Amino acid sequence: MNKILVANRGEIAIRIMRTAQKMGIKTVAVYSTIDRNAPHVKFADEAVCIGEAPSISSYLNANRIIEMAKTLQADAIHPGYGFLSENAAFAELCETHGITFIGPKSKAIKIMGSKLAAKEAVSQYNIPLVPGIDEAITDTKKAKEIAKSIGFPVLIKASAGGGGKGMRIVEKENELEAQMKRAISEAHSAFGDGSVFIEKYVSSPRHIEIQIMADGHGNILHFFERECSIQRRHQKVIEEAPSSILNPELRKKMGEAAVKVARSCDYLGAGTVEFLLDSHHNFYFLEMNTRLQVEHPVTELITGVDLVELQIRIARGEKLPMAQDDLNISGHALELRVYAEDPLNDFLPSVGHLKTYKLPSGPGIRVDNGFEQGMDIPIYYDPMISKLITYGKNREEAIQTMIDAISKYRIEGVETTLDFGKFVFEHHAFKSGRFDTHFVPKYYTPESIEQHKKNDAEMAALIVAKHYMEAQNKLRLPR
């Protein structure tokens, strides 16, 4: 493998290229017209424009990407995450044209891409599933019957997708019809498929995911867990590894279950198996993401493993270079997704010009970044600017390093999730480890951040006044 085309943009494209270049592999960046001056374009050995700004005309244009890979003689394509990363047809297209797709085979993507097909596959391995139905429906009358049999509250979920789209919690029977219509409409709009399924809603859950890696020689390893319970609109904002709630026995059980999930679909490469953990520490299979996750850096920091390098080695046909017993957890890592969003306005995207953009640095701080000062945040793509990751010898140290790193991060021109992150990391519920996926609705309001900022300003003023008084006293001392 001499050359890899990275079919993505921003921080993840640069992240992949760093490892490829470390391995002596040339890289090709693809870009849309609006990204022509983006850092990932400058970082690559070669770069090629693949279309106009809208993703459907560029980063989702599978045929154009394949054409460029062949023209520039790339041996492989790494899709990153998002865009074409979980597109089975794109994986097949790569196979047809003799280009290595750095990811699972199309069969596994298809199975795990459908929540119902995934449940059917893993059910053969005695993996716990949330009580619910095993078929997709659009009939409201039938939905009511199913919901009654399961018992309220229930969760309506889109069969064909994720990311919180087409998902509705229904507390009472008289709410079901309206929520069903909304879920179907949203699922159809997002995925082109309005079918949904219904399952029991697990109250006060923790969202725990297990990183797995499988080679083409029958070896499957898990790289422990990540806690992803701090979410807004069912989408992750903060992740950490390891979880503060898992003990060694539960960690082992969940890791073994994740390996079975990978085996159920003949998996290859990096993947993540997601579980819900209830208040009694019962866990249930949620879904499998057939790609590299946004939050993979926290796993890399606690295991000392480069997951992208393993992906590339597996794609080259190599065996995993370690056994399960060789893997250990060392220290603690946290990640904050720095979104161009306004936490004071329901986390709505905040596009604009990065007038000031300065990254924090120092021991225990890592920033996976895709922007530079003077750039604009485009409206066409996901509003994530970067990922701020910190590491410490324990959870307390990682949290304090994160708080310090947030204070050093300078962004002017757009609103971001930095202040929201500081609010979370300083909150007693997060620090104590006693929280669940309801953290945001339970504890967060725009006013809480405003109060947080006011308190910080008052504290800063007191510190300045104290230093001033100390300086004055020194000047008055007799000589």
Residues catalogued as catalytic = 291
CA distances 90 to 60, 137, 292, 300, 317, Å, are: 10, 27, 16, 28, 20
Measured between alpha carbons, how far is 105 from 77 in angstroms, rounded to an integer? 13
SS3 state at 477: coil
Residue listed under structure tokens 């905040």: 350
Q: Number of C-alpha atoms within 13 angstroms, CB side, residue 227?
A: 22
Parallel/antiparallel/unpaired status of strands 76-78 and 100-101: parallel
Residue 227 and residue 245 in contact, taking contact as beta carbons nearer than 8 Å: yes
Q: Among residues 340, 390, 384, which one has the least CA distance to residue 360?
A: 390
Q: Where are the beta strands (DSSP E) in 143-301?
A: 154-158, 168-170, 196-200, 206-214, 220-232, 235-241, 269-277, 283-289
Are the C-beta atoms of 311 and 269 separated by less than 8 Å? yes
Q: What angle do CA 23, 20, 104 make, to 5 degrees?
A: 115
For the chain, give the number of residues.
479
Pair of tokens at residue 164: 């919180």
Could you tell me if 133 and 146 are in contact, meaning their C-beta atoms sit under 8 angstroms apart?
A: yes
Region for 164 from its dihedrals, namely left if φ exceeds 0, alpha if ψ lies in -120 to 50, beta otherwise: left
DSSP string, 340-405: SEEGGGTTEE--EE-SEEE---STTEEEEE---TT-EE-SSS--EEEEEEEEESSHHHHHHHHHHH
Owner of token pair 């992750």: 236
